[in-house]
Amino acid sequence: MKLLPGGDKPKTPEARRRLVTIVLVAFVLGIFVIPSLFNAKSVKTLSYSALLRDARHHKVLNSTINSASGVITGSLTNGTNYSTNGPSPVIATDVSALQANNVTVTFSNTGSLFLSLLPYIIWIVLFAGFMVFLSRQAKGQMQGMMSVGRSKAKQFNQDRPKTTFADVAGYLGVKQEISEVVEFLKTPGRYAEIGALIPKGILLVGPPGTGKTMLARAVAGEAGVPFFSVSGSDFMEMFVGVGASRVRDLFATARKQAPAIVFIDEIDSIGRKRGAGVGGGHDEREQTLNQMLNEMDGFEPTEGIVVIAATNRPDVLDPALLRPGRFDRQIVVPLPDLDERLPILEVHSKNKPLDNSVSLEMVARGTPGMSGADLANLVNESALHAVRRNSTTIGMEDFESARDRVMMGQLRDTMILMDDERERIAFHESGHALLAYVLEKTDPLHKITIIPRGMALGVTMTLPEEDRHIMSRQHLEDSLCMRMGGRVAELLIYGDLSTGASDDLQRNTELAVRMVREWGMSKEIGPMAWGSNNQVFLGEDLMHQRDYSDHTSQVIDDEVERILREQESRAIEVLTLHRRGLESLTRALLEHETLDGETAAKLIDEAHGEPIHPEGTKTVRTLAGVGAASAASRRAAPVGPAVAPAPGWQPPSLPAV
């Protein structure tokens, strides 16, 4: 919206209607109120005979006689105004009598047809104005109904602030891939001379918050062309055919301003596979998709229109949408790695006062798996934490607290736990922490707390030393064993179980099922993958039949049970051998409520009598310690139990549940 020379925004039609209404109301009130203000002095009503009698007693000062209406007005000698209705036409003898008693008599003829009709004219004008207002309102509603098929795309042109690749931190490979579109829009002749065709459609695929929309706007900013932004849900309405009409209007508008970029966010809302839902082939979504396919086939690459779409679910898109000639190029925008998280943090903290102790490189190392939106939220949370502690700069402790809030949840320090619950939670979290420290392939231990955070009553936090893209079976098994630590610690100390391990058991079962069914990590199942990854909302799994036999299903169940029981027995064995460390860690947790990884490691090593990891501590104390483990420690040999089990020792059996 353009600004007026004074800096104000132009008035909208609703504002103008409100202004006209206020003016009309003020005008009507003025007609009836203002005259009454001028006639605020009291007026005494007299009869005609009383007026003549007062005149004989010299009580009347003057009289004004209206020849047309016979109304006589004037003032008495005591200063009071009076009014009376006299005869019409006026009686000459009465006028002579008034003059004989020293009454100043004047005549007026103010009566006119216009003044007598003025009240009626006012009401007629007001009624006509009201009818005009209603007709305009009805016309606007009709125009709104007729324009329901117009596109809701927002246009950003050169008048708006530009977003360039310099505003998008990291993602050098993605920028290089998408920069061809910029070159084509700037110099299409180079491509036409050699016969090269730029893709009509580019699909940006990646998790939420990775900056797909910003990348699309950066392409428009670099190329200096109009940018039309629309969401996939904007095409859908309750009226049949509206979506297809909006698609036609969008592409028609883009053709008029070519070269241009059309960006469709969340295209999976209209581009899902046809015929996969309950609506069959005639629902509104499929008609909208058909129109989009037709429009993308209807323009030539030389027209200079590039369609960029973004989605988090490319697997649900219709194959016709992804064929060559439409969205034939897919660019993956993944979660940023370590080298990309650092420039993202620098962009978001550019205008914030950072303390000299802050190392954004250490912050980047301690935030694996975070998207660009998560990192922006992390910087903002750290700034809020600095304000809460009345600091004028953002320090490393603020980033530490912000990361704990983002990854572990909000601190609920006002929640009151009973002593027996608090002790059980301490043993539970100590079991997780001890296994995270002792086992080789688990992520380094960062922090343990028994203060409720988010939905959890206690949290044991581990952080990976570096970005991990695949996981070995040993890493998965150590993760299963570590999650069993809380349940096993309660079993060893109390001899029974509680509900505190429900989330651990659910996550372990899901992981074990994937190990058996999808990743071929079972000798009994072998190198086969069973089960479908299709989502139920697509309609393909509503009547889906299991693609393996009952015997295979039983084997899968047996293998999942075997894996989980093996890791439970392994957790029982390790915690039994390190029971003194478990108890020492629990006592420290009950006293301090929160321990960092380095303190927990010292307690476990002291209870054990010697360092469990002699070549390097397997912990992460603070953000500054992330990634400090040496390559030698990462390649160290597997660490077995420090004390061999006693001859004939058997893991304690689980109580019947």
Say yes or no to pLDDT of 475 above 50: yes
Per-position b or e across 104-114, b if 16+ CB within 10 A of its CB = ebeeeeeeeee
> 187-201, 240-254, 495-509, 611-625: lowest mean pLDDT where?
611-625
Cα separation, 477 vs 439, in Å, equals 10
Which overall architecture, per CATH, does domain 46-111 show?
Answer: 2-Layer Sandwich (3.30)
Give the distance, in angstroms, between the CA of residue 184 and the centroid of all CA atoms in the same chain.
33
Q: Is residue 333 a contact partner of residue 171, using CB atoms and an 8 Å limit?
A: yes
The rounded radius of gyration (Å) of the Cα atoms in the chain is 42
pLDDT one-digit tens code per residue, 32-62: 665 555 554 567 788 888 888 888 888 888 8
Identify the weakest region by mean pLDDT among 178-192, 209-223, 613-627: 613-627
Does the structure show a pLDDT above 50 at 640?
no
- Is-contact 10 4, C-beta < 8 A? yes
CB atoms within 10 A of CB 247: 26
Cα angle 159, 163, 164; round to 5: 125
From 586, 564, 615, 567, select the one nearest 434 (Cα to Cα): 586
pLDDT confidence band for 428 (50 / 70 / 90): very high
Does pLDDT of 152 surpass 50? no
Please tell me the predicted confidence (pLDDT) of residue 301. 60
**Per-residue pLDDT at 435:** 94
As a whole number, the mean pLDDT across the chain is 76
The model's pLDDT over 528-537, given as tens digits with 9 standing for 90+, comes to: 887 654 444 4
Task: Give the best-scoring range by mean pLDDT among 3-17, 250-264, 492-506.
Answer: 492-506
Per-residue pLDDT at 617:
62
Per-residue pLDDT band for 197 (boundaries 50, 70, 90) equals confident
Q: Which of 5-9, 175-179, 256-260, 343-347 has the largest mean confidence?
A: 343-347
In this structure, the number of other CB atoms found within 10 A of the CB of residue 539 comes to 18
Give domain limits for the chain: 46-111, 154-332, 338-408, 419-634
Given a contact cutoff of 8 angstroms between Cβ atoms, the answer to whether 443 and 466 are in contact is no
Q: Are 525 and 519 in contact (CB under 8 A)?
A: no
Q: What is the pLDDT of residues 508-526, one digit of tens each?
A: 999 999 999 888 898 888 8
CA dist 150 and 179 (Å) reads: 31
Residue 362 has pLDDT above 90, yes or no: no
Kindly list the distances between the CA atom of residue 404 and the CA atoms of 352, 401, 575, in Å, as whole numbers in the listed order.
Answer: 20, 5, 27
Pairwise CA distance, residues 202 & 652, whole Å = 59
Token digits of residue 21: 């209404």
CATH topology of domain 338-408: Helicase, Ruva Protein; domain 3 (1.10.8)
Please state the rounded mean pLDDT for residues 553-575.
Answer: 93
pTM: 0.64
pLDDT of residue 649: 38
- Of 308 and 301, the structure prediction assigns the larger pLDDT to 308
How far is C-alpha 178 from the chain's CA centre?
26
Report the range out of 20-34, 54-68, 374-388 with the highest average pLDDT.
374-388
CATH code of the domain occupying 419-634: 1.20.58.760
Give the Å distances, CA to CA, from 151 to 232, 282, 294, 303, 587.
11, 22, 17, 20, 65
> What pLDDT sits at residue 573?
93
Phi, then psi, of 560 in degrees rounded to 5 = -65, -45
Reading the block at residue 128, the tokens are 């006509």
Q: Is the separation of the CB atoms in 168 and 211 below 8 Å? A: yes
- Max CA separation in the chain (angstroms): 147
Q: Is the pLDDT of residue 405 over 80?
A: yes
Q: Which of residues 121 and 511 earns the better pLDDT score?
A: 511
Compute the distance between CA of residue 623 and CA of residue 359 in angstroms, rounded to an integer: 9
How far is Cα 198 from Cα 179, in angstroms, rounded to an integer? 11
H-helix or E-strand spanning residue 558: helix 550-577
Q: Distance between terminal CA atoms of the chain?
A: 67
Instruction: Indicate the angle between helix axes 485-494 and 419-438, nearest 10 degrees.
Output: 130
Mean pLDDT of 331-360: 85
Angle separating helix axes 284-297 and 242-256, nearest 10 degrees: 20
Query: How is domain 154-332 classified at the CATH fold level?
Result: Rossmann fold (3.40.50)
Length of the chain: 657
The mean pLDDT value for 285-311 works out to 75
For residue 164, the model assigns a pLDDT of 74
pLDDT band for position 564 (cuts 50, 70, 90): very high
Out of 388-397, 458-467, 493-502, pick the least confident. Answer: 458-467
Decide: 81 and 43 in contact? Cβ < 8 Å.
yes
**pLDDT score at 483:** 93
67 contacts 77 by C-beta, under 8 angstroms: no
Q: Which of 262-266, 475-479, 489-493 has the lowest mean pLDDT?
A: 262-266
Confidence class for position 588, pLDDT limits 50, 70, 90 = very high
Which residue blocks in 578-636 are alpha helix, DSSP H?
Answer: 579-592, 597-608, 631-634
Lowest mean pLDDT among 169-178, 283-292, 459-468, 619-628: 619-628
pLDDT, mean of residues 532-543? 45
pLDDT for position 631 = 33
Catalytic one among 429, 465, 477, 568? 429
Q: Is the pLDDT of residue 478 over 90?
A: yes
CA distance 180 to 198: 8
Residue 645 pLDDT greater than 70, yes or no: no
CB atoms closer than 10 angstroms to residue 656: 4
Mean pLDDT score, 442-464: 85
What tens digit of pLDDT does each residue of 7-23 get?
444 455 566 667 667 76
**Known catalytic membership, residue 421:** no
Q: Output the pLDDT for position 20.
A: 67
Lowest mean pLDDT among 128-142, 272-286, 316-330: 272-286
Does the structure show a pLDDT above 50 at 642?
no
> pLDDT tens digits, residue range 79-119?
788 888 877 777 777 788 788 877 888 877 655 556 666 66
